[in-house]
Structure 1
Amino acid sequence: IVRMVPVLLSLLLLLGPAVPQGTQDGPYSLTYVYTGLSKTVGDIPKFQAFGLLNDLSFFEYDSKDRRSRPLGLWKQVEGMEDWEQDSQLQKAREDIFMETLNDIMEYYNDSNGFHTLQGRFGCEIQNNRSTGASWEYTYDERGYIKFNKEIPAWIPLDPAAHITKKKWEAEPVYVLRAKAYLEEECPATLRKYLNYSKSILDRQAPPSVVVTSHQAPGKNKKLKCLAYDFYPREIDMHWTRAGKVQEPTLSGNVLYNGNGTYQAWVVVHVPPKDTAPYSCYVQHSSLAQPLVVPGDAS
């Protein structure tokens, strides 16, 4: 039973000793996401851990090979983390996390069902100052428990969480360490990681834009504007008709390409007799001025 308590302590071990450094601009965020499954589903591991810097995953760990490894552009970064040592820490946290999931299932007397537990915690800084932090858990995609660092205390969001709260607050030091992690250790570690990652997070990759046209006999013309290979994620795309903004027929969510960049698209349908000029408008922080690509709707 008391083994649930170290979940608070073990989470503090992930990042190791922090090295504060002066960091300007931002905002920058460090977020960790843990997911545990009560049963295996296909090839999905029963336990997974991810770390994100801003919106990019920089490491992963799962219950299959039980090894931490860098992801994406961080595969080329040396010295940011001792991945062998981190693997040992993640193994301990996996065991504790899955025990917590089992304890919740026992509370509901449903050890045979399919259930999920997810933990998410992290912090944000801007101009070298902490601007926010959070730590919360969900059970079966509904709120379970979260930490309020102002009180400080764990706030139950589910009946079973009252038992978890009691165990996690069995000693005052556990609450104080959780507060210290969010307010001090997490921001300090984010500053350390930025020594190795700031150039990745601050980079500007301009979008490449392609416009395609398709029309079946007697049907509306379909104009599609695709922007790809851009970073950061935020982008403004829309179609204009004779200079006036048009509501899109379809628009795609901004999708991660897996190589550290994103793509997005927007579609508009043009009636056969409409000869007004259509253009795709793309605005991104990497561009000195917006791109305007003719759609050739004539």
Structure 2
Amino acid sequence: RLADPGSRVPGGARAWTPPRTVLLLLQLWRLVPESAAESPWGLPVVADGPASLAKMVMAELANLKLENKPWPGGTHSLHYHYLALSEPGPDLPQFLAVGYVDDQPFIHYDSRVDRAKPQAPWMATVDAQYWETETQKQRAWAKVQQVETWTVMGYHNQSTGMHSTQRMFGCEIREDGHTHSFWQFGFDGQDHLSLDLETLSWVSAKPAATRTKSWWETERCYAEYDKAYLEGLCLVSLRRYLELGGQSLTRKVRNLHRHRTKQDVERES
């Protein structure tokens, strides 16, 4: 739960009434069973029951509009980078997650510590429930990406040795009000798959990625959820983090690195 800078609860922690997007995401999270971590997003791969309800929630998330409030000037972004290793290494976490607002780290999860922790001073005032929720979320992601790592290794005929997968996703709002989102997946530091948000299809970066593409496209709901998150909750969260960060984030316009998609390249050619 993200705190509203204008409200407080006893003990100095900040409280916040979540918007509809957050309530929908929490509803979706409750639908996900622990045993479903074998598939992307940990969603149940069935056509009825919890999966159907999950798809309905995704659709509502995708249709939600941002609050009608002005954004701080300049270009702002919210990005997450996840790294999973096939096996533990010396002084290396098997799973690492870092979140960035305007290229500034604000949250960090290390599987060795097994807790989500603030990386920016302005996040230290967020209440304990937020950190517990983030910890649970990153634990679930660690399980999902671990399975993905081992599966992609098999697609590359690799059964031993140190290998890694990288997941990068996020959203950005530019000075002119236009938004941009991306979702990318890598293997051993090389591009593997990216999500085409217009067609909801996975784009293979190399022939070896086609088997992963087929696996992920078995259930379209994975891409639907990603799109709903990127175009809904991600932007709502970005606004809240900018409010929390205040002048440390908004006092100057940053020249942010932009992740270019296949569609960007085609438009420029």
Q: TM-score range by the shorter chain?
A: 0.5 to 0.7
Structure 2: give runs of 5+ residues left out of the alignment: 1-35, 45-53, 256-269
Q: Does 1:192 align with 2:240?
A: yes
Tell me the secondary structure at the aligned position of residue 207 of structure 2: coil
**Which of 215, 222, 225 is residue 177 of structure 1 equivalent to?**
225
Tell me if structure 1 keeps the 8 A contact 2:123–2:244.
no
Q: Highest Rg: 1 or 2?
A: 1
Change (3 A) 1:26 1:95: same
* 1: CA distance, partners of 2:168 / 2:146: 15
Tell me if structure 2 keeps the 8 A contact 1:31–1:51.
yes
Q: Does 1:122 align with 2:170?
A: yes
Q: Where do 4+ consecutive residues of structure 1 move more than 4 Å?
A: 7-10, 16-19
TM superposition shift of 1:42: 2.3
Tell me the secondary structure at the aligned position of residue 151 of structure 2: helix
TM superposition shift of 1:125: 1.0
TM superposition shift of 1:41: 3.1
**Which of 38, 41, 45 is residue 3 of structure 1 equivalent to?**
38
Partner of 1:211: none
After TM superposition, the structure 1 = structure 2 runs for residues 69-108 of structure 1, keeping only pairs within 5 Å, are 69-79=117-127, 82-108=130-156
Change (3 A) 1:2 1:91: closer
* TM-score, normalised by the number of residues in structure 1: 0.60
Partner of 1:35: 83
| Number of equivalences | 204
**Which of 180, 193, 211 is residue 145 of structure 1 equivalent to?**
193
CA RMSD of aligned residues (A): 3.2
* 1: CA distance, partners of 2:196 / 2:93: 31
Tell me the secondary structure at the aligned position of residue 39 of structure 1: coil
After TM superposition, the structure 1 = structure 2 runs for residues 211-290 of structure 1, keeping only pairs within 5 Å, are none
Change (3 A) 1:103 1:112: same
**Which of 91, 99, 102 is residue 51 of structure 1 equivalent to?**
99
* 2: CA distance, partners of 1:194 / 1:135: 22
Of all paired residues, the percent bearing the same amino acid is: 32
Higher RCO structure, 1 or 2 (CA under 8 Å, sep 6+): 2
Task: Give the partner amino acid of 2:193.
Answer: I
* TM-score, normalised by the number of residues in structure 2: 0.66
Task: Give the partner amino acid of 1:104.
Answer: V
Task: Give the partner amino acid of 1:6.
Answer: W
Tell me if structure 2 keeps the 8 A contact 1:37–1:117.
yes
* 1: CA distance, partners of 2:152 / 2:84: 12
Tell me if structure 1 keeps the 8 A contact 2:102–2:254.
no
**Which of 210, 216, 222 is residue 168 of structure 1 equivalent to?**
216
